[in-house]
Amino acid sequence: MVKMPVEVRETLEKQKPIPIATASKSGVPNVVFVGLLKIVDDETLMLADNFFYKTAQNLMENPKIAILCYNSETKKSFQIKGDVMLSKEGENFDAMRSWVHGINNKLPAKACVMVKITEIYNAMWGPAAGKQIA
């Protein structure tokens, strides 16, 4: 696992909505926006499955994710990759439900998607584009 540098955390915190990419077992890519992403700590992110369909299917068969963020003021952009742990009961699930229902108690909060960050890349254009930073 890797730790998010401060500049990555700050860029991700401001990204709204956040594009997340998954892939099926056979490699068919899929990208969706999420509004709800919680930074649990520098190595861990939490997403809420409220309306995932292909995304949910993909994460069940291929528990990997890529997340993208960009700040036009700081001109920073990062690609975060991680391993996913899904849960529909237990401590993480309960924490996800409290968080989501604190925002809107009508949301379905179907599953907790915990992301352990494994790699971070610079995604800003220029000579350092694509370089791994963590």
Ligand X SMILES: Cc1cc2nc3c(=O)[nH]c(=O)nc-3n(C[C@H](O)[C@H](O)[C@H](O)COP(=O)(O)O)c2cc1C
Residues forming beta bridges with residue 45, ordered by sequence position = 39, 115
| Nearer residue to ligand X within complex by CB, 8 or 20 | 20
| Nearer residue to ligand X within complex by CB, 17 or 130 | 17
| Nearer residue to ligand X within complex by CB, 4 or 48 | 48
Residue 21: CB partners within 8 Å, gap ≥ 6? 29, 30, 31, 65, 66, 67, 68
What tokens does 33 get?
Answer: 């926006």
Minimum Å gap between C-beta 17 and ligand X is 4
| Element (DSSP H or E) covering residue 57 | helix 54-61
- Contacts with ligand X by CB under 6 A lie at 17, 30, 32-36, 48-55
Minimum Å gap between C-beta 15 and ligand X is 11
Minimum Å gap between C-beta 64 and ligand X is 15
Residues forming beta bridges with residue 115, ordered by sequence position = 45, 84
| Element (DSSP H or E) covering residue 98 | helix 91-103
Minimum Å gap between C-beta 22 and ligand X is 8
| Nearer residue to ligand X within complex by CB, 15 or 30 | 30
